[in-house]
Amino acid sequence: MLITDSRRSLATSALAAGGLLGGFAVARKSHNRQLGGAVLAAVGVACTTRWQKSSGSTRAGVLVGTYLVAFGASHPLAKKIGAWPAVGAVSAATAAASMAVSK
């Protein structure tokens, strides 16, 4: 069971990072910020559902907050280090938080 839980946690962590990266990539490529936001939101809902099932509502709330703060933090960070490095950094941080907090 522990291996299954670890794999599920890893998969959800990767999904969260992918949502941030994918949302940015879609917005950038399509020149449509709303479309990128829709990708970000859809993945956020999927992650929230998984986090809630695996770790409970409190931890899911913390992780959703982390996901949203990461999205917000990427904007000012991008002004300092560039857009892709900023999105990569917040995506990695979100994945790490997910791994640390998820059961």
Structural domain boundaries of the chain?
Answer: 2-101
Token duo for residue 24: 């940015």
Cβ contacts of residue 61 below 8 Å, gap of 6+? Answer: none
What are the pLDDT tens digits along the chain (103 aa)? 444 566 767 889 999 999 999 999 999 999 999 999 999 999 999 999 999 998 899 999 999 999 999 999 999 999 999 999 999 999 999 999 999 988 6
pTM of the model: 0.89
> Which of the 8 DSSP states describes residue 31?
T
What integer pLDDT is reported at residue 2 of this predicted model?
Answer: 45
- Token pair in block for residue 66: 């982390």
> What pLDDT score was predicted for residue 1?
43
- φ and ψ at 17, to 5 degrees? -60, -40
The encoded tokens of residue 62 equal 């913390």
